[in-house]
Structure 1
Amino acid sequence: MHGVDTFELILALLALVIGLYWLALKLKLPPSAALLVGGGALAFAPGLPAISLDPELALVLFLPPLLMDGAYFTALGRFRQHLAGILSLAVGAVVFTTLVVGLVVHWILPQLPLAACFALGAIVSPPDAVSARAVLKGVSLPRRLTALLEGESLLNDATGLILVRFAVAATLSGVFHAGDAVTSFGIVAIGGVAVGVAVGLAWSFAVRYLRDRMLIVVATTALGWAAYLAGEAVHVSGVISTVAAGLVMGWNQHTLLSADVRLLGGSVWRITVFVLEALVFILIGFSLRGVIDRIGGIEAIPPPMVYAVIGVVLALTLARFVWVFGSEAILKIAHRAGLKTARPLGWRQSTILGWAGMRGVVTVAVPLTLPLDTPGRDLMLVCAFTVVFVTVVAQGSSLGWLVRRVRPVDTDPPARMDMPAAEAAMARARMEVVEKLAYGEDGELIHPMLLEEHRRRVEYVERYAQDAAAAMEKLRPHFDILLAAIAGSREELIRLHRAGHIEDEVLHELERDLDVEEMGITFQRGE
């Protein structure tokens, strides 16, 4: 395909993303499901070229920034608190699902080597970070459940990719040593953490000396790719390396980045992640055509393959529920035995956790990277797309409905302070600073208006902390007046510019001031 044609195709895909995303919002559907179905439907439209993306490029292009985004915004305190549960899902559940799916496929297709069956299980076993994030955006879940799902989605791709590597090697060589596999798994995982932390610390060091905010934003945006490629270069897990670097950056950015860099970088990052996330689902949908073409068309699918695909979907769905509720039973037994750290989720949260197993880009891309002579490669391709399609469309679309029906209860103890109390503490700290600086060295009050303004602010925030709802209800008319006043200032500013009374530079500077002021008021309104 010519370079200009490729560029035109990218623009067409972006237009398609906008249209499908808008349609999903209008129909109140998960955008990921709409993008996947829309891409799959349009893949067979007459006259459209076949779209294919190099699978290795897909992993490198899409996976690191989306993993980095998840790690950057991970609540690190809850991540550490629930690390045992996260590892149970990201490692234990993936390994268990791999074994169950492999045995089911070998039972349906006994002529397929067992190692190839386990390779298929490893491909479809890890829920996807992109799919999980896309679906969880519109769902309100208890904090512990959110921490488990987000933490799992960050780490389980690494488990799946490592298992695929071992299973494919055993398939092609006919040799497998469990002890060597476990040792290699540990080395790859620990090495990934070490590389990721090193890359994250290097970023922390670099941003101290990069004075220009554009350079800092670019360096921050590239960090995910740098960590992933560094991990892969030294033959450890690039996924774990990316996640570790993201956690380091997310922890340090509060003290290293200035306010303007955070605002600018946040805007750039949100747009980048939105485009990449949307394109992932569109391209997965378009890959359906390539999968069907590789096996000679839908009519060429033999019945045993159909049975195997159905068996894979049922096996991985049931395996996740078995693992979740089995772990829940163990926690209940341990809790009754007096182990205080063993806190069961309860059947409501366990049900949601069992159903939230959407697959995505890794599941589709990995089988395309396998050697052409890998036994069962066509089956792996068909199963991969079917699993992604079923889990994203069926589970993703119904997750919100299931949450409303099950109504999971947040069993985590609340934090010591809520947001109004934290705001009151911040206001008191600010007041202490103003009180010190409002007086001169001789004790004379030199900033009376500033002092009075902050005293009134502390009084209001104290009342707000006591009854946030009532205080906000009284303050909303105040905010409405301020926003109306800003709108009036903006109209006058534009009138002055259109009449030729002020220069463009003056327009941009004053407009930026109004934008910042309006954004601050909007945030205070809680919008």
Structure 2
Amino acid sequence: MHPVETFELVLVLLATVIALHWAASRLRLPPSAALLVGGGALAFLPGIPQISLDPELALVLFLPPLLMDGAYYTAFGRFRRHLPGILSLAVGAVLFTTLVVGLVVHLLIPALPWAACFALGAIVSPPDAVAARAVLQRLTLPRRLQALLEGESLLNDATGLVLFRFAVAATLTGSFDAGAAAGSFVLLAIGGALVGTAVGYAWIAVMRRMHDETLIVATATLLGWAAYLAGEAAHVSGVIATVAAGIVFGWHQHVVLPARVRMQGSAFWRTLVFSLEALVFILIGFSLRGVLERVGFEAALTAMTMPVLAIVLAVLLTRFVWVFGCDAVRGVMKRAGLARARPLGPRQAIVLAWAGMRGVVTLAVALSLPGNMPGRDLMLVTAFAVILATVVVQGSSLGWLIRRLGLVDGDPPAAMDMAAAEAAIAHAKRNAVEAVAYDAEGALRHPRLLEEYRKRDAATQRYAGDAGNFMPSIRAHFGVILTAVAAGRAELIRLHREGLIEDEVLHDLERDLDLEELGALFQRGEEPDGEEAREAGAGQAEGRTS
């Protein structure tokens, strides 16, 4: 394909991504499901060239930044508190699924070597970080359940990849040492955590010495790839190295990054992650064409239909067995007097069991199978079938299931709520202003600032004591501010359209209005998308310039 044609195809894919995202939002479907199905349909249109997803490139291109994104926003306290449950899913459930699927495959196809059967189990066993994040970010879950699912998605890819490599090696060589495999896994995990932690702290040390905002954002963006490649170069787990680096950076970014850098970086990072997530799923859809062309459409529908359906069913049921079995063990331990053992309960266990979406890792490792691997065609078709079933069926129904079950957050609340925290911050601000409001002789130098912060302190103290009654007036107050911001934005646009100000002035004043709008929306208790203010500002601007 000519380079210009390749670029044109990339533009077509990006336009398709936007259209499918828009359609998914209108139909209230997970974008991942729409992109997967849309990519598969688009791949078979006449004139569309075949796109092959290189497995090694897919892992190194997509996995590190998306793992980094999940690790960066991980609530580390909850992650650490629920680590035993996370490891139960990320290691125990993946091992259990690999074993069960391997047994099912051997029962269905006795001629296939045992190691090849377990290789297929390792391919389909780990729920994917990309697929999980694409679905979970749009849902509201109890904090414990959220921590378990997010933590599992960060760590289980490492387990699946290690199991897959050992199973493939055992198939091709005919030998397998379980003790050596377990020891290697522990070393890979610990080594990955150490490498990732070291890379994360080194990156923070570098960014502390930078003053250019663009360089800081660019340096932070490279951290995920740097940790992953460093882990792979050190022959440890690049996945765990990326997660460790992301957690370190996410923990320290509050004091390392200035506010402006954080805002700029967040906007850029959201756009990057959106693009990568979308391309992952649409490329997975495109890969269906290559799989069917290799295997043969007729063979996929006839000879492989029953084994594939049986394996997909085994994957789904195995997770339910593991989740409910572990929850039953927690119940027995709690009745035995172990206070730390808290069962999830049947409702949260159902959601946890149903949220096992597969994605790019499953397909990438399947595509990386050696050409002489026994059962390779079956593995490719099964991998795609599992991705399709879990992303489309489970991902599309997960939100409905959560609403239907009416989950209740059973985790104890934090010591301070939002109102109390705001009151503490306002009090600290007042103390800081009072400390510098007087000169050495005791004369008041900043009377207006001191009065303002005293008023804020008093107001937040009253609000903390009776937040419910104060909220309507607070919403009205910041609603007036949003109206003023919309009017200011309309006037700014009018001045620019009439050629009265330069572009630099427009950008600077627009940034100030954006910050004011975000602050007002947050104080009013809304998501900072500024939709109402933008609509009001657009209406006023249209009225003034027409």
Aligned position for 2:287: 287
Distance in 2, matches of 1:438 and 1:256, equals 28
Give deviations 1:198-235, integer Å, cap 9, x for gaps: 11011011111122111111110010011111111111
Aligned position for 1:114: 114
Tell whether the 8 Å contact from 2:162 to 2:185 is kept in structure 1 after alignment. yes
2:370 matches 1:350: no
Distance in 2, matches of 1:505 and 1:368, equals 50
Distance in 2, matches of 1:503 and 1:290, equals 53
Aligned position for 1:477: 476
- Deviation of the 1:490 alpha carbon: 2.6
| Partner AA of 1:432 in structure 2 | N
- Deviation of the 1:519 alpha carbon: 2.0
Aligned position for 2:540: none
Question: Residues 27-426 of structure 1 correspond to what in structure 2 (within 5 A)?
Answer: 27-296=27-296, 298-301=297-300, 303-426=302-425
- Deviation of the 1:303 alpha carbon: 4.2
Tell whether the 8 Å contact from 2:195 to 2:231 is kept in structure 1 after alignment. yes
- Deviation of the 1:420 alpha carbon: 1.3
Tell whether the 8 Å contact from 1:135 to 1:396 is kept in structure 2 after alignment. yes
Tell whether the 8 Å contact from 2:73 to 2:250 is kept in structure 1 after alignment. yes
SS at match of 2:357: coil
Aligned position for 1:440: 439
Distance in 2, matches of 1:125 and 1:504, equals 54
SS at match of 1:222: helix
Distance in 2, matches of 1:502 and 1:401, equals 51
- Deviation of the 1:404 alpha carbon: 1.5
| Partner AA of 2:152 in structure 1 | E
Distance in 2, matches of 1:443 and 1:216, equals 42
RMSD: 1.2
Give deviations 1:86-121, integer Å, cap 9, x for gaps: 000000000000000000000000000010000000
| Partner AA of 2:415 in structure 1 | R
Tell whether the 8 Å contact from 1:109 to 1:304 is kept in structure 2 after alignment. no
| Partner AA of 1:17 in structure 2 | V
Moved more, 359-368 or 402-411: 402-411
Aligned position for 2:426: 427
- Deviation of the 1:53 alpha carbon: 2.0
Distance in 2, matches of 1:208 and 1:372, equals 48
Tell whether the 8 Å contact from 1:348 to 1:409 is kept in structure 2 after alignment. no
Q: Runs of 4+ in structure 1 displaced over 6 angstroms?
A: none
| Partner AA of 1:290 in structure 2 | G
SS at match of 1:414: coil
Tell whether the 8 Å contact from 2:323 to 2:353 is kept in structure 1 after alignment. yes
| Partner AA of 1:264 in structure 2 | Q
Tell whether the 8 Å contact from 2:128 to 2:361 is kept in structure 1 after alignment. yes
| Partner AA of 2:332 in structure 1 | I
Tell whether the 8 Å contact from 2:99 to 2:121 is kept in structure 1 after alignment. yes
SS at match of 1:301: helix
Distance in 2, matches of 1:314 and 1:372, equals 27
2:465 matches 1:462: no
Distance in 2, matches of 1:365 and 1:416, equals 44
Give deviations 1:265-292, integer Å, cap 9, x for gaps: 1111110001100111111111111110
Name stretches of at least 5 consecutive residues in structure 2 with no aligned partner.
527-546
SS at match of 1:339: coil
Tell whether the 8 Å contact from 2:300 to 2:381 is kept in structure 1 after alignment. no
Q: Alpha carbons of 1:409 and 1:503: their partners in 2 closer, same or farther (altered >3 Å)?
A: closer
Aligned position for 2:531: none
Give deviations 1:305-329, integer Å, cap 9, x for gaps: 2222111111111111111111011
Moved more, 4-13 or 513-522: 513-522
| Partner AA of 1:117 in structure 2 | C
Q: Could you state the TM-score of these two structures normalised by the residue count of structure 2? A: 0.94
Identity across the alignment (%): 68
| Partner AA of 2:24 in structure 1 | A
Tell whether the 8 Å contact from 1:197 to 1:248 is kept in structure 2 after alignment. yes
Q: Alpha carbons of 1:498 and 1:313: their partners in 2 closer, same or farther (altered >3 Å)?
A: closer
Give deviations 1:149-199, integer Å, cap 9, x for gaps: 000000000000000000000000000011111111111111111110111
- Deviation of the 1:464 alpha carbon: 2.2
Distance in 1, matches of 2:491 and 2:27, equals 39
SS at match of 2:442: coil
- Deviation of the 1:523 alpha carbon: 2.0
Tell whether the 8 Å contact from 1:119 to 1:163 is kept in structure 2 after alignment. yes
SS at match of 2:304: helix
Give deviations 1:349-390, integer Å, cap 9, x for gaps: 111111110000000111111110011111110000000000
- Deviation of the 1:77 alpha carbon: 0.1
- Deviation of the 1:507 alpha carbon: 2.8
| Partner AA of 2:373 in structure 1 | T
SS at match of 1:342: coil
Distance in 1, matches of 2:290 and 2:465, equals 61
- Deviation of the 1:302 alpha carbon: 6.8
Tell whether the 8 Å contact from 2:358 to 2:386 is kept in structure 1 after alignment. yes
Q: Alpha carbons of 1:467 and 1:305: their partners in 2 closer, same or farther (altered >3 Å)?
A: same
SS at match of 1:29: coil
Give deviations 1:225-246, integer Å, cap 9, x for gaps: 1111111111111101100100
Q: Alpha carbons of 1:49 and 1:469: their partners in 2 closer, same or farther (altered >3 Å)?
A: farther
- Deviation of the 1:478 alpha carbon: 1.7
* Residue correspondences, number: 526
Distance in 2, matches of 1:139 and 1:510, equals 35
| Partner AA of 2:295 in structure 1 | I
